[in-house]
Amino acid sequence: MDFGLTKSEKEMQKAAKAFAKGEFDKDMSLELDKKKEFPTKVWEKAGELGFIGMHFSEECSGQDLGLMESCIVIEEFCRKDSTLGSTLAFSSYGSESILKYGSDELKKKFLPEVAEGRMLSSCAFKENGKGYNFKSLSTTAVRDGDEWIINGEKTYVLNGGSAGFYTVLCQTDSDADITKGLSMFLVEADREGLVADDVGEKLGLRMIKTATIKLNNVRVPASNLIGNEGSGYKQIQEFFDINRIIIAAQAVGMAQGAFDRALDYVKQREQFGKKIAQFQITGHKIANLSTTITQIRLLTYNAAWNYDQGKNDSKLTAMAKLASTKAAVDVAAEAIQLFGGYGFMTEYEVERYYRDSKVIEIFEGNRGVQRDAIGKDVIGKIKK
């Protein structure tokens, strides 16, 4: 058992730190967050330098690296800036299905675009009134000769309206068992009949667009089917496995970033004749926060490492998402408290960490969803 980072991981960490330091400008970020604008320049540059889709194969403009390296980079990005970090982490959102199940044609056509920072990807799976178990989706895909006709509506689609394509989870056989009745399709954003309705202002992650995606008789060629017909359920589960780790890594970075700022502040700010850091209670708060961050980092790295070893463990992934995002919110809240009135002010950034971490805590399955998954997995089948 080795808890140290490998040489390659250390190199990526160093590169990510340098990139964030050079490219993430605080004033720019405050401005973009306020105006709810996408950080186009930073994204393009991250793509050019290979920070997007690092785990893609080299033919797809990736670096053939593990999820562990991705997590380390995402952590550093979110540490430096919660919103810019998440925006970059989600710029290849939903591409994993194509990477793992897509035809060579789809891979070659879309993945390099994503990895090089020229196109955003997205995944549309959630529906209004439906939870995360995807029993009988109302979005359907019906075969018509060489094409599929897709109808339905997907909610809370990240990068909705700005993505170049969506991987859309559809019901292809309503009579079949859930493990066979769903299929995944790549739908280009400019297909006729696809409309993205922006959800409007959000609590956090304001640089990323979120939309409801409406599909009205959208026709896609049969070659847009990702993987086999009926493999959608398997794909969405695998998507969650990888993506929940990516979210957990964001949370670790956000927690660390909020903590860094609070730690600097308590060492500078004086009240009652001494630095706030010199009060015992501040020391204990700092101790608790560091302990929490160390815990969630270990858990998240463990989940990522496991994934890279090919022994994926869904419950570990869900645990990482559950614990890390909750911790990030708690750390950011305590950071605001340590900053006092300044913490409430946008300029001091920790308020943005608080809002952004709250969004990733809820996003892609809140605590209830994660606990359902973990509990089910741990308890296993009950003998009758």
Partner 1 sequence: MEILKYTEEHEKYREKLRVFFEKEVTPYADKWEEDHAVPKEVWRKVGQAGLLCPLVPEEYGGIGGDFSHVVVYMEEFAKTKQSGLMLTLHNDIVVPYILAYGTEEVKKKYLPKCVSGECITAVAMTEPAVGSDLSGMETTAVEDGDEIIINGNKTFISNGHVSDLVIVAARNSEIDDPYSGISLYLVEDGTPGFERGEKFDKLGMRSQDTAELFFNNCRIPKENMLGTKGGGFIMLMEKLQQERLCAAIGGVVGSEAIIKELIEFCQKTIVDGKPLSKSQAIRFELVEMATEVKLGRTFMETLIYDHIDGQNVVVETSMLKSWGTDLLNDHVNRALEIMGDYATLEESVLVRGFRDSRITTIFAGTNEIMKQVAAQFMGI
- Which residues have CB under 8 Å from 295's CB, separation 6+? 323, 327
Question: Looking at beta carbons only, is 128 or 291 nearer to partner 1?
Answer: 128
145: contact with partner 1 by CB under 8 A: no
Q: How far is the CB of 65 from partner 1 (least distance, A)?
A: 30
Side chain identity at residue 278, one-letter code: Q
359: contact with partner 1 by CB under 8 A: yes
Q: Tell which one of 165, 301, 305, 354 touches partner 1 (CB under 8 A).
A: 354
283: contact with partner 1 by CB under 8 A: no
Q: Which stretch binds partner 1 (CB under 8 A): 141-149, 161-169, 269-277, 311-319?
A: 269-277
Q: Which stretch binds partner 1 (CB under 8 A): 143-151, 242-250, 258-266, 344-352?
A: 344-352
Q: Between helices 67-80 and 280-308, what is the axis angle to 10°?
A: 150
261: contact with partner 1 by CB under 8 A: no
361: contact with partner 1 by CB under 8 A: yes
Question: Looking at beta carbons only, is 222 or 345 nearer to partner 1?
Answer: 345
130: contact with partner 1 by CB under 8 A: yes
280: contact with partner 1 by CB under 8 A: no
- Which residues have CB under 8 Å from 299's CB, separation 6+? 248, 316, 319, 320, 323, 324
Q: Which residue has the tokens 């496991």?
A: 306
343: contact with partner 1 by CB under 8 A: yes
Q: Tell which one of 108, 180, 191, 371 touches partner 1 (CB under 8 A).
A: 371
27: contact with partner 1 by CB under 8 A: no
Which residues, numbered 306-335, are part of the site for partner 1 (CB under 8 A)? Answer: 329, 333
358: contact with partner 1 by CB under 8 A: yes
Question: Looking at beta carbons only, is 221 or 368 nearer to partner 1?
Answer: 368
Q: How far is the CB of 315 from partner 1 (least distance, A)?
A: 17
3-state secondary structure of 133: coil
345: contact with partner 1 by CB under 8 A: yes
Best CA proximity match to 70, nearest among 87, 50, 41 = 50
- Distance between CA atoms of residues 282 and 266, nearest Å: 8
Q: What is the dihedral of CA 74, 335, 364, 235, to 10 degrees?
A: 30
Q: Tell which one of 199, 214, 223, 234 touches partner 1 (CB under 8 A).
A: 199
Q: Tell which one of 77, 93, 101, 156 touches partner 1 (CB under 8 A).
A: 156
Question: Looking at beta carbons only, is 110 or 156 nearer to partner 1?
Answer: 156
Question: Looking at beta carbons only, is 261 or 355 nearer to partner 1?
Answer: 355
- Which residues have CB under 8 Å from 253's CB, separation 6+? 74, 75, 76, 77, 78, 79, 82, 85
Best CA proximity match to 130, nearest among 150, 152, 97 = 152
Q: Which stretch binds partner 1 (CB under 8 A): 171-179, 247-255, 308-316, 343-351?
A: 343-351
> Does residue 364 carry a catalytic annotation?
yes
Q: Are 47 and 118 in contact (CB under 8 A)?
A: yes
Q: Are 364 and 243 in contact (CB under 8 A)?
A: yes
Q: State the number of CA atoms in the 13 A half-sphere of 20 facing the CB.
A: 26
Q: How far is the CB of 129 from partner 1 (least distance, A)?
A: 6
Instruction: Label the pairing between strands 121-124 and 165-171.
Output: parallel
Q: Are 139 and 127 in contact (CB under 8 A)?
A: yes
346: contact with partner 1 by CB under 8 A: yes
Greatest distance between any 2 Cα atoms in the chain: 79
- Distance between CA atoms of residues 332 and 254, nearest Å: 8
Q: Report the run of H or E that residue 317 belongs to, with start and end.
A: helix 314-339
Q: Are 288 and 375 in contact (CB under 8 A)?
A: no
Question: Looking at beta carbons only, is 6 or 133 nearer to partner 1?
Answer: 133
Question: Looking at beta carbons only, is 117 or 204 nearer to partner 1?
Answer: 204
Residues that bind partner 1 in the complex, under the rule CB under 8 A: 30, 34, 126, 129-131, 133, 135, 155-156, 199-204, 210, 270-273, 279, 281, 329, 333, 336-337, 340-341, 343-347, 351, 354-355, 358-359, 361-363, 366-368, 371
Catalytic sites, residue numbers: 364
